Amino acid sequence: MLLTIPGVLTAEQVATCRDRLDRADWHDGRLTAGHQSARVKANLQLPEHDPVARELSDLVLRALERSPDFLAAALPRHVYPPLFNRYVPGMAFGAHVDNAIRQVPGTAHRVRTDVSATLFLSTPDEYDGGELVVEDTYGTHSVKLAAGDMVLYPATSLHQVMPVTRGARVAAFFWTQSLVKDDGERSLLFDLDMAIREIGQAAPDSPTTVRLTACYHNLLRRWAEV
């Protein structure tokens, strides 16, 4: 399932991020890439131990906790602390698949990467190129969103960032280990959750709402890993 979620960050939060990131100490992004990804990766990245990275990572995590669409779509069990990257003219990230397991630095904790996410921090008119291109069973999808908007997609997907030819593309990115490992099952639960919300708004006391809610939780109970 590929899903765009608008307004994860407010305009004020985006401005805070950009103010910190525009003055940050960026490093070669290949330092954190796997062997295969490093061959096609050309970008800048903020080191995970950088105080700015930690501050803004916490800001993004708090915003995710307030995003009902993220919670419904990802069904998060663990969220890898968000990272930050920057692409300037000539930079790109060729086709790759994200590593299946990420270890949180400084801990023994490992996160299985079920869901990938990119949270855009640059407005589309600030740069040319830089589209996130995701391939799935339904074809190829090109994504370039407003600042503060986010896209979720299966971490199993082949994806790339197209070359930037003008300006700077700045974004946060992270992975989620879901309570429901299978993307097809997560998609069904998300669609059912959206239908329950719509029916609940139109007829909150309807027996149908109760029955569908029961179905949702019984499916979640069947599929969830806790």
Q: Strands, E, within 49-200: which ranges?
A: 76-79, 83-87, 92-96, 101-103, 110-112, 115-120, 127-129, 132-136, 139-143, 150-154, 158-161, 164-167, 169-178
Between these two residues, 215 and 203, which has the higher pLDDT value?
215
Query: What pTM did the predictor assign?
Result: 0.94
Q: Please compute, for residue 72, the number of CA atoms within 13 A of its CA located in the half-sphere on the CB side.
A: 17
Whether the per-residue pLDDT at 69 is higher than 90: the answer is yes
Quickly count: other Cβ atoms within 10 Å of residue 35's Cβ: 6
Low-confidence winner among 12-16, 78-82, 196-200 (lowest mean pLDDT):
196-200
Both 121 and 168 in one domain: the answer is yes
pLDDT confidence of residue 206: 86
Domains in the chain, number: 2
Both 173 and 103 in one domain: the answer is yes
* pLDDT above 70: percentage of residues in the chain: 97
Which tens digit of pLDDT belongs to each residue from 83-135? 999 999 999 999 999 999 999 988 999 999 999 999 999 999 999 999 999 99
Both 92 and 204 in one domain: the answer is no
**What confidence tier does 203 reach under pLDDT thresholds 50, 70, 90?**
confident
Both 124 and 59 in one domain: the answer is yes
Domain containing residue 190? 183-223
Whether the per-residue pLDDT at 75 is higher than 90: the answer is yes
CATH of residue 163's domain is 2.60.120.620
